[in-house]
Amino acid sequence: MSMKNQGVVVQKIQRVDPQVIKGLAECGVATVHEAQGRIGLLASYMRPIYSGASIAASAITISAPPGDNWMIHVAVEQVETGDILVLAPFSPSDAGYFGDLLATSVRARGGVGLVIDAGVRDIRTLTEMQFPVWSKAVCAQGTVKETLGSVNIPIVCAGELVNPGDVIVADDDGVCVVRREDAAEVLKKAQARVANEESKRLRLAAGELGLDIYDMRGKLAAKGLKYV
Amino acid sequence: MSMKNQGVVVQKIQRVDPQVIKGLAECGVATVHEAQGRIGLLASYMRPIYSGASIAASAITISAPPGDNWMIHVAVEQVETGDILVLAPFSPSDAGYFGDLLATSVRARGGVGLVIDAGVRDIRTLTEMQFPVWSKAVCAQGTVKETLGSVNIPIVCAGELVNPGDVIVADDDGVCVVRREDAAEVLKKAQARVANEESKRLRLAAGELGLDIYDMRGKLAAKGLKYV
Amino acid sequence: MSMKNQGVVVQKIQRVDPQVIKGLAECGVATVHEAQGRIGLLASYMRPIYSGASIAASAITISAPPGDNWMIHVAVEQVETGDILVLAPFSPSDAGYFGDLLATSVRARGGVGLVIDAGVRDIRTLTEMQFPVWSKAVCAQGTVKETLGSVNIPIVCAGELVNPGDVIVADDDGVCVVRREDAAEVLKKAQARVANEESKRLRLAAGELGLDIYDMRGKLAAKGLKYV
Amino acid sequence: MSMKNQGVVVQKIQRVDPQVIKGLAECGVATVHEAQGRIGLLASYMRPIYSGASIAASAITISAPPGDNWMIHVAVEQVETGDILVLAPFSPSDAGYFGDLLATSVRARGGVGLVIDAGVRDIRTLTEMQFPVWSKAVCAQGTVKETLGSVNIPIVCAGELVNPGDVIVADDDGVCVVRREDAAEVLKKAQARVANEESKRLRLAAGELGLDIYDMRGKLAAKGLKYV
Amino acid sequence: MSMKNQGVVVQKIQRVDPQVIKGLAECGVATVHEAQGRIGLLASYMRPIYSGASIAASAITISAPPGDNWMIHVAVEQVETGDILVLAPFSPSDAGYFGDLLATSVRARGGVGLVIDAGVRDIRTLTEMQFPVWSKAVCAQGTVKETLGSVNIPIVCAGELVNPGDVIVADDDGVCVVRREDAAEVLKKAQARVANEESKRLRLAAGELGLDIYDMRGKLAAKGLKYV
Amino acid sequence: MSMKNQGVVVQKIQRVDPQVIKGLAECGVATVHEAQGRIGLLASYMRPIYSGASIAASAITISAPPGDNWMIHVAVEQVETGDILVLAPFSPSDAGYFGDLLATSVRARGGVGLVIDAGVRDIRTLTEMQFPVWSKAVCAQGTVKETLGSVNIPIVCAGELVNPGDVIVADDDGVCVVRREDAAEVLKKAQARVANEESKRLRLAAGELGLDIYDMRGKLAAKGLKYV
């Protein structure tokens, strides 16, 4: 984001303990987002290319020119097992930066997916491969390989800051970023929420009302709610 | 909509005969919309969270502050078998007002779905539950419980007026509202359309042209259509 | 597009050799788009109503008034085996011009799909029929039959010029148009790309990097890329 | 909105006392919207065609087909001094329903402006005439005169219900509707706000802080705000 | 649009008689659009960067890569007195292709403006220069000079086909294209409309109703309009 | 952006030398954006509420809940001469966070404007005051004062990271952020560009072509450009 980090590849980044990442994946986006105080959610236009994928992974960040996917090739070399590519263009682009060949390459390195504030293509093959992508657009428009960007610098992707090594949690609800340094604490809070929700679910399924379970009637009356 | 009905819960509403509602569900949105003179269709940005759901139900309306889902808890208590929640925020919001816990609660009361001119989350679980939702957005963003709205007052949802007890018809084509007082008549017209369409379908499938079935050639020629 | 061709139906159009069309379908949108120099892609808001369809077909073009589907009936008579309807409204419209009855009629004539820069309805039945549609919107809003348009004149659909008889290639990545006179040459280039991609895929799957396969390291260094 | 009121012109409507309307105009949209409890604001995409107009007027409502301005001619006959036309299309349209000839006609009847959830044209002449319009779009696209709508029935315009005779307040901030029966009370509250704001403005201009004027420091501290 | 015309500059184009162009400018967009049968209007998102400009000019067309303004420099050499640049990117881009230096250059060659389905910058200086631009976006984002496009080939700009030498009419209502071969005839029809409108304006200003001037009452009654 | 900085007000921030800020204002957005390597531009939907304002100022950042403007009051206390407020909501909101009273207060503290990725109101008075605002929306919708945010922490506003004390440059072309530590160097480069542009402007105005001034003909020919 500063003038100093264009054309730079940071090779050594720190990642979160895989067990913590695995735990965050199990909690899912909505719970993790709540657990960390309702922050970190990428814009809701970021949608999965197919339903049902649910992952957490360490971010390899890519800052790329509009309509230019050269840096993805550079980034793939930095991918380790359990990583996910996170790409933000310098300026808005819907072009199709990524397709099945790059997915094949990412997977061969142990990578598990892509989050891209731009377009993706080869949807059918990516779906058959079950290689999950969350993107702003599906678009076959080709890209060039002309201009440098950077890999593993802080980026803003779909309205949220993502640092290399931050944890990306993504499922059908969208994409959430968890700071590397907060991940263990967020996981604890998220797991507590899951446990708490389970008992709530049973009571609600039995017909109890949220009004009673959460003891809302008094506060509603105090605010002036009138039943007629 | 008037100054008088904020912070109000109307407990007793009138509903349409369940047999009429069932009939409307069988006709589907496009047919019902045509049958009632091409009115009542909610904005086309209202999309189902999964494909294949097709319902009709009595509207429990909710007027809620932006990013505040408190009134849903209030509304759930008003739900009876065969009802659907219909929520419009005071001002635009994409926040995720509704998830699987609330769906569990609605279903426990006999409710059959949600129409919301805002966001919804827990898409995967809602899909597994086969709890249908038509929404403007999928968004994990959490909401607060701070400010009153109203339940079972007339609302404007996705551009259409919905009164409590109106029939909501919703399927993969979108969402249509039928006035409570018109429902029986609309059903008759819709069923007539269905019957009529079936015979048309057979003739079209056999290769007859709409130009001939609907006797359009003369009118087209009169308007000046030229074949070259 | 000129004042001369409103209210006109061109009955005799030239089509591309069916074997060429079949070949283009097998290559898919992304490959064909690349093969012809990254041109011809319709706007990315054109989305399929269901996943997995992948076709190529000869365009029967329709220029229609906003919210008026009369010309589709006229166009169906011009459909031959292997054709696809391509509709552009005079001015923007999301109305539902097309549903399952028209699909039945198109199929009875040998037509294989629809590309429409407007709305479509009866999504569920169209999906059951496996009749593919790429559209700007899903919308149940009905249309009228009042005003003439034209059939088989050049149109601009979703930002691209489409001539009658041009080849439409469409799949989950979107829609691409190939000029009738370029089709054979584009197919050759597309098939060469497919062959070339297959060997790349194997090397990438084996863990080789694009950086090495495409020999990018020197050029990146020359541009000033720094590893830190 | 019901099946009964298509093709209907209601000739006799009730209007608010002109002095009340004048008072609301002087308060402006933001103040009136606050005074009536933050309701009644039309969608923020409704923008004035030129800056500086600020009016209040009685609504003559028009429900019109998409791309068809026939009903405006019908509505003009219903205009009395101090009225404003408010048009909502049955389904979305950006077409240019209204231009300088219609404005000339409306003005000749004593009408003062237009609110339209669609397009308007002849912007330059309308600006020279200082005939104010709030619209969703500026668009030269012509409309037809083929299909009936209604005049002076309740409509939903840009997301808000507008009844004939309701007061429309509009300025550079947008458009707000005040129910006819609430207008006098809303005016009183709005005038109280204006008076109150004036003293606040003086204190703020003198450098006092809102934190102190509104006594916020304690509540902020109680919520946990930390100064570092 | 075909594979053959990328990287091509057509140096010799035919233009319309300057007197015809001058006449079209005086009629304005809305009238010209009506006069040629309601065709040729570019998308309504094309807005002038300042109010009050009203021109007609011969199109110098530019097909350019996204985010690459190299071809504008090539096009400027082709500009003659009374020409306007019309640029369409290969794929969507909001980048700022054009600023005050290029405007200085265009004006020095006799050019009178720019229509661009992308972004423009240096708004303040362009306004001071009174150099009119109609664009999709205002955006300071810089562009590169890397890839060829073409000059003076047919392009699709904002949804409409524009051929080199076609007449562009543009004012506060938007942008309309008139085919070179239709221009003289369209002018005649447009001037007839202007004459006709003037008498209508006087009668409307005097309080006569469109209902009577256009003799609509019978047709409305025949369609079933009811006054209540 | 981390869990640690919600509900925090950072009171002491570092600012750039006022002479540097003044210099950046004189260069303007497009030049500054180019000078720092085409980075730092906020999304192009950020538009000024009136034309002609052109400023540079030190950012006081505000991270605020959707539809809640409480933190603006907190931020005003932190404003010093030459500062500008920069507000980003936690999640998208078009509500009208800011009006003429707050502008009065900001100005009384020496503040010079507002950049807000949300809505603003009282446009007419703000324009009369010549208090410049760049916003995503104009919207009268009121906000609440219920939930804490933070002041002077790093925020993401309209897609760009803004740190407290960074320089905001804003004019009719949009908004650009310059890192505090880069400001002096960016100014130097920007001033060099201005000087260089002036001589170019004179040559272009005299009719010289960019093709010759920038020596492009050879490179274009090498890429294969053909004149026909």
DSSP class of residue C43 equals P
User: Using CA atoms, how far apart are residues F223 and F228, in angstroms rounded to an integer?
Assistant: 16
Residue type, E46: M
**pLDDT tens column, A130-142:** 999 999 999 999 9
Q: What is the pLDDT of residue B1?
A: 47
Query: Does position A30 have pLDDT exceeding 50, yes or no?
Result: yes
User: Using CA atoms, how far apart are residues E61 and F206, in angstroms rounded to an integer?
Assistant: 24
User: Using CA atoms, how far apart are residues D159 and D195, in angstroms rounded to an integer?
Assistant: 31
> Contact at 8 Å (CB) between D6 and B58?
no
User: Using CA atoms, how far apart are residues B40 and B33, in angstroms rounded to an integer?
Assistant: 7
Q: What is the pLDDT of residue B191?
A: 97
Q: What is the pLDDT of residue E190?
A: 98
Please list every residue in chain D whose beta carbon sits closer than 8 Å to the beta carbon of residue B183.
none
Instruction: Encode chain E (228 residues) as per-residue pLDDT tens digits.
Output: 455 568 999 999 999 999 999 999 999 999 999 999 999 999 999 999 999 999 999 999 999 999 999 999 999 999 999 999 999 999 999 999 999 999 999 999 999 999 999 999 999 999 999 999 999 999 999 999 999 999 999 999 999 999 999 999 999 999 999 999 999 999 999 999 999 999 999 999 999 999 999 999 999 999 999 999
Query: Does position F1 have pLDDT exceeding 70, yes or no?
Result: no
- Subunit partners of chain D (3 or more CB pairs within 8 A): B, C, E, F
Task: Kindly report the nearest CA distance between residue B83 and chain A, in angstroms.
Answer: 15
User: Using CA atoms, how far apart are residues F51 and D51, in angstroms rounded to an integer?
Assistant: 11
Nearest C-alpha neighbor of E94 from the set F32, F45, F50: F45
Instruction: Encode chain D (228 residues) as per-residue pLDDT tens digits.
Output: 455 568 999 999 999 999 999 999 999 999 999 999 999 999 999 999 999 999 999 999 999 999 999 999 999 999 999 999 999 999 999 999 999 999 999 999 999 999 999 999 999 999 999 999 999 999 999 999 999 999 999 999 999 999 999 999 999 999 999 999 999 999 999 999 999 999 999 999 999 999 999 999 999 999 999 999
Cβ atoms within 10 Å, residue E10: 18
Residue of chain C whose alpha carbon sits nearest to that of D67: C66
**What's the token pair of residue A62?**
């890519």
- For chain F, what is the mean pLDDT? 96
Residue of chain F whose alpha carbon sits nearest to that of E7: F225
Q: Is B139 on the interface with D (CB under 8 A)?
A: no
> Contact at 8 Å (CB) between F186 and F28?
no
Query: CB–CB of A52 and B104 under 8 A?
Result: no
> Contact at 8 Å (CB) between B68 and B144?
yes
Query: Does position F2 have pLDDT exceeding 60, yes or no?
Result: no
User: Using CA atoms, how far apart are residues B96 and F65, in angstroms rounded to an integer?
Assistant: 15
Query: Does position F194 have pLDDT exceeding 60, yes or no?
Result: yes
Q: If you average pLDDT over residues C138-164, what whole number do you get?
A: 96
CA-based torsion, F57, F61, F67, F69: positive or negative: negative
Query: Does position F45 have pLDDT exceeding 50, yes or no?
Result: yes
pLDDT band at A5 (very low <50, low <70, confident <90, very high): low
User: Using CA atoms, how far apart are residues A215 and A218, in angstroms rounded to an integer?
Assistant: 7
User: Using CA atoms, how far apart are residues C176 and C198, in angstroms rounded to an integer?
Assistant: 22
State whether residue F62 is helix, strand or coil. Answer: strand
pLDDT band at C2 (very low <50, low <70, confident <90, very high): low
Chains B, C in contact, 3 or more Cβ pairs below 8 Å:
yes
Model pTM?
A: 0.96
User: Using CA atoms, how far apart are residues F101 and F104, in angstroms rounded to an integer?
Assistant: 5
Query: Does position B2 have pLDDT exceeding 90, yes or no?
Result: no
Query: CB–CB of D6 and B39 under 8 A?
Result: yes
CB within 8 Å of E194: residues ≥ 6 apart: E27, E31
Residue type, F37: G
Q: What stretches of chain E show up as alpha helix (H) in DSSP?
A: 18-27, 29-35, 70-76, 100-108, 123-129, 183-205, 210-213, 217-223
Where is C89: in which H helix or E strand?
strand C83-89
CB within 8 Å of B96: residues ≥ 6 apart: A30, A173, B119, B120, B121, B138, B139, B140, B141, B142, B143
User: Using CA atoms, how far apart are residues D85 and D60, in angstroms rounded to an integer?
Assistant: 5
User: At residue E4, what are phi and psi to the nearest 5 degrees?
Assistant: -75, -20
State whether residue E68 is helix, strand or coil. Answer: strand
Query: CB–CB of E91 and A92 under 8 A?
Result: no
Q: Is E93 on the interface with A (CB under 8 A)?
A: yes
User: Using CA atoms, how far apart are residues B44 and B33, in angstroms rounded to an integer?
Assistant: 13
User: Using CA atoms, how far apart are residues C214 and A9, in angstroms rounded to an integer?
Assistant: 19
- For chain C, what is the mean pLDDT? 96
Residue type, C68: D
- State the best of B121, B122, B133 to mutate against chain A, taking most chain A CBs within 10 Å: B121
Query: CB–CB of B66 and F92 under 8 A?
Result: no
Tell me the CA end-to-end span of chain A in Å, nearest whole number: 57
Contacts 24+ apart (CB under 8 A), B50-53: B50/A51, B50/B123, B50/B126, B50/B127, B50/B130, B50/B132, B51/B172, B51/C50, B51/C123, B51/C124, B51/C127, B52/B172, B52/C124, B53/B113, B53/B130, B53/B132, B53/B170, B53/B171, B53/B172
**What's the token pair of residue B210?**
């709409």
Q: Is E76 on the interface with F (CB under 8 A)?
A: yes
Task: Kindly report the nearest CA distance between residue C190 and chain B, in angstroms.
Answer: 34
Q: What stretches of E46-150 show up as alpha helix (H) in DSSP?
A: 70-76, 100-108, 123-129
> Contact at 8 Å (CB) between B171 and B57?
no
Query: CB–CB of C127 and B197 under 8 A?
Result: no
DSSP class of residue A147 equals S
Q: What is the pLDDT of residue C4?
A: 58
Query: Does position C1 have pLDDT exceeding 50, yes or no?
Result: no
ipTM summary value: 0.94
Residue type, D165: G
Q: What stretches of F28-182 show up as alpha helix (H) in DSSP?
A: 29-35, 70-76, 100-108, 123-129
Q: What is the pLDDT of residue E1?
A: 47
Please list every residue in chain F whose beta carbon sits closer than 8 Å to the beta carbon of residue A161.
1, 154, 156, 161
Q: Is A218 on the interface with B (CB under 8 A)?
A: no
**pLDDT tens column, C60-104:** 999 999 999 999 999 999 999 999 999 999 999 999 999 999 999
Nearest C-alpha neighbor of D226 from the set F146, F164, F149: F149
- Torsion angle of the four alpha carbons A73, A74, A75, A76, in this order, in degrees rounded to the nearest 10: 50
pLDDT band at A6 (very low <50, low <70, confident <90, very high): confident
